[in-house]
Amino acid sequence: MAEQVEGINHEAVTVWFKANVDPAESPLSFSLVSGGKSNLTYRVEDASGNAFILRRPPLGHVLESAHDMARECRIISALFDTGVPVAKTWGLCQDKSVNDADFFVMTCIEGVVLHDAAAAEPMSPEARRRFGEDVAKVLVNLHNLEPSDVGLGDLGRREAYLDRQLKRWTKQWEATKTHDEPDMDACLELLHVRKPEQIGSAIVHGDYRPGNFMHQDGAIAAVFDWELCTLGDPLADVGYMLNNWHQPDDVIEATATSVPPPTSIGGFPTRDEMCDWYANGTGRDLSEINYYRAFSHWRLACIVQGVYKRFLMGAMGDQEMDLESYRSGVGRMARSALELMN
């Protein structure tokens, strides 16, 4: 009898595979690749050695709109064979009797994910440079797509992206504020005063960073985690990417929970090179890119403050947490944002 894996109805999902995934041959084996409060990712292997990825919402009672499998599957399917490397999708199951929740299946793409510096250490100088070039090229390809041409024209509102984001995260900050943080308030005021006009719109990934790319010797084989994808201001992706593209001379304050970021070890292209490649590939003006970087820092501070308050109020169970590193991190990110706008 096959080993049961939490979150997978082995028998019913196997029957679904037989009907929907042509290459799959029974028996199937399932293993959890990544889990938590975000969507769960399972590796599925068949009798012939084929590998697939199954994505489903987290276990328990969750808000379906925050874990929309149909939306994520739709985005990945639309981007297949467009110059944005994503896996081939095989099907979406919305019959709750099969596995208690929606799920979709795609081909498993093998490679390495740069979660931290240790994952980047084995890369040759050539592979590190190729990685940076590909990260920029893929973002260019994504932002040069006309959403309607790939069936994503109705994915979200195109205009007023920053207005919507500022409204959303200001509400989050005010709802989770536990102490005075003058730099956060000063930063928010500047973000409103200096907000640039949005020029054009594009498909925005929303979480474009090294930890969301699968690479093979530096070449990007797949971009994943499309949960936050929408339409809006493409420079938000660029600012976020640059904040996650650390250079060796960056001052990175260590905390109890931090690990050295991958690009901080050197050998990767510089932020300036990444900007040049993006600007040349899209024709977009990056003269206001520090605003978008500042916004990204401030937004992340809002997110960290929310986590801090949940731990402070005991809403995160018995998990261990260095509360002081979270509290100080909010102020540190706010100061980073202010420095970029001054």
User: At which of 59, 81, 107 does a domain end?
Assistant: 107
Residue 273's pLDDT band (boundaries 50, 70, 90)? very high
**Would you say 187 and 81 are in contact if contact means Cβ atoms under 8 Å apart?**
no
User: At which of 83, 107, 131 does a domain end?
Assistant: 107
Based on the fold, state whether residues 248 and 311 are members of the same structural domain: yes
pLDDT of residue 230: 96
Mean per-residue pLDDT, 156-162: 96
Based on the fold, state whether residues 168 and 32 are members of the same structural domain: no
Tell me how far apart the alpha carbons of residues 98 and 62 are, in angstroms, rounded to a whole number. 18
pLDDT of residue 312: 80
Say if residue 256's pLDDT is above 50: no
User: At which of 107, 133, 168 does a domain end?
Assistant: 107
* 48 assigned to some structural domain: yes
Domain containing residue 236: 142-209+225-275+284-341
Say if residue 1's pLDDT is above 60: no
* 120 assigned to some structural domain: no
**Would you say 90 and 77 are in contact if contact means Cβ atoms under 8 Å apart?**
no
Say if residue 40's pLDDT is above 80: yes
Dump pLDDT digits (tens) for 74-123: 999 999 999 999 999 999 999 999 999 999 999 999 999 999 999 999 99
Based on the fold, state whether residues 150 and 63 are members of the same structural domain: no
**C-alpha angle 68/33/93, rounded to 5°?**
35
The reply to whether omega before 196 is within 30° of 0 (cis) is no
Residue 220's pLDDT band (boundaries 50, 70, 90)? very high
Q: Which of 4-13, 184-193, 249-258, 274-283 has the lowest mean pLDDT?
A: 249-258
Q: Which residues pair with 125 in a beta bridge?
A: none
Based on the fold, state whether residues 170 and 308 are members of the same structural domain: yes
How deeply is 136 buried, as exposed, middle or buried, from its count of CB atoms within 10 A (0-12, 13-18, 19+)? Answer: buried
Nearest to 199 by CA among 165, 153, 160, 152: 160
**C-alpha angle 122/114/120, rounded to 5°?**
20
* 46 assigned to some structural domain: yes
Q: Hey, is 76 helix, strand or coil?
A: helix
* 333 assigned to some structural domain: yes
What separation in angstroms does the CA of 298 have from each of 62, 169, 218, 244? Answer: 27, 9, 31, 14
pLDDT of residue 259: 82
* DSSP assignments along 142-166, one per residue: HHHS-GGGGT-TTSS--S-HHHHHH
Tell me how far apart the alpha carbons of residues 239 and 257 are, in angstroms, rounded to a whole number. 24
Dump pLDDT digits (tens) for 291-330: 999 999 999 999 889 888 888 887 555 566 677 778 888 9
pTM: 0.91
User: CB-side exposure of 125: number of CA atoms within 13 Å?
Assistant: 1
Buried b (16+ CB within 10 A) or exposed e, 264-278: bbebbbebeebbebb
Tell me how far apart the alpha carbons of residues 339 and 341 are, in angstroms, rounded to a whole number. 5
Mean per-residue pLDDT, 279-292: 98
φ and ψ of 218, to 5 deg: 95, -25
Nearest to 106 by CA among 199, 201, 190, 24: 24
What total of structural domains would you count in the chain?
Answer: 2
* 22 assigned to some structural domain: yes
- Contacts of residue 62, defined as CB under 8 A and 6 or more positions apart, other chains included, come to none
* 296 assigned to some structural domain: yes
Based on the fold, state whether residues 293 and 157 are members of the same structural domain: yes
Say if residue 189's pLDDT is above 50: yes
CATH number at residue 103: 3.30.200.20
Question: What crossing angle do the helices spanning 182-193 and 289-312 adopt, rounded to 10°?
Answer: 140
Tell me how far apart the alpha carbons of residues 55 and 39 are, in angstroms, rounded to a whole number. 7
Mean per-residue pLDDT, 230-254: 91
Based on the fold, state whether residues 101 and 164 are members of the same structural domain: no
CATH number at residue 335: 3.90.1200.10
Based on the fold, state whether residues 99 and 177 are members of the same structural domain: no
Based on the fold, state whether residues 168 and 67 are members of the same structural domain: no
* 137 assigned to some structural domain: no
* 1 assigned to some structural domain: no
Based on the fold, state whether residues 248 and 334 are members of the same structural domain: yes
Q: Hey, is 141 helix, strand or coil?
A: helix
pLDDT of residue 328: 87
Based on the fold, state whether residues 97 and 191 are members of the same structural domain: no
pLDDT of residue 236: 98
Based on the fold, state whether residues 39 and 186 are members of the same structural domain: no
Token pair 């109020």 in the structure block, residue: 313
Dump pLDDT digits (tens) for 117-157: 999 999 999 999 999 999 999 999 999 999 999 999 999 99
Based on the fold, state whether residues 198 and 306 are members of the same structural domain: yes
Query: What percent of the chain shows pLDDT beyond 70?
Result: 92
